[in-house]
Amino acid sequence: MTEPAENVGPGSIAAAAFAELRAIYEALDAEVARRAPVCLLSGRCCRFEEYGHTLFVSRLEAELLVDQAPAPSRPLDDGRTCPWQDAHGRCTARAGRPLGCRAYFCDPAYEPIAYEVSEPFIGRLKELGRNLGIPWDYRPLHQHLGRLREEGRLDVEIVS
Ligand code: SF4
């Protein structure tokens, strides 16, 4: 059991919490690798509006992403794209990318099992948050990023 993280906010997420989240990501990456979805590096998964999906993330995931990511490659919009997708369609924030980025593939053969693969790990994320006393606060990525920007923890230009 992890010590509760009091005062979730700027600088308050303990390194231990991030370590536990990274362990969940590593286990998920291993499970996804076992299923061997095909990635053609199309970049579709990160062009949310264009391909009709929304990346939801929990608060702890957003905290780790911003903590680990380099400076954004593009401005923060209202959920159409991800600020860490570069001009070639590649992710520049792979180390801290959220669960949805790790579990989603546009491979038609994988799509039917994506939910089955990701759901147990979402359960683990929720349990970790409960143990840490961190609100689940599951919402679209750009909303968390807007909050973190307002808190002065993410330096990114805004576009409407
Ligand atoms: S964090 Fe990386 S993988 Fe996830 S949506 Fe952004 S660019 Fe894509």
C-beta of 142 in contact with ligand 1 (< 6 A): no
14 belongs to a structural domain? no
Tell me if 141 sits within 8 A of 82, measured CB to CB.
Answer: yes
As a residue count, the chain comes to 160
pTM of the predicted model over 0.85: yes
Rg (CA), the chain: 15
10 belongs to a structural domain? no
How far is Cα of residue 98 from the mean position of the Cα atoms in its chain?
A: 2
156 belongs to a structural domain? no
Tell me if 17 sits within 8 A of 28, measured CB to CB.
Answer: no
- The count of domains in the chain is 1
**pLDDT 10s per residue in the chain (160 long)?**
444 444 444 455 688 899 999 999 999 999 999 999 998 888 888 889 888 889 999 999 999 999 999 999 999 999 999 999 999 989 999 999 999 999 988 899 998 899 999 999 999 999 999 999 998 999 999 999 999 999 999 999 999 8
Q: Which atom of ligand 1 is nearest to the CA of 82?
A: 6
Burial 61-79 (b: 16+ CB within 10 A, else e): bbbbbbeebeebbbebbeb
Structural tokens at position 128: 């970790």
The helix/strand/coil state of 91 is: strand
Q: Which range of residues forms the domain containing residue 95?
A: 21-150
158 belongs to a structural domain? no
C-beta of 91 in contact with ligand 1 (< 6 A): yes
Give the sign of the dihedral formed by CA 69, CA 71, CA 73, CA 77.
positive
102 belongs to a structural domain? yes
Q: How far is the CA of 1 from the centre of ligand 1 (A)?
A: 30
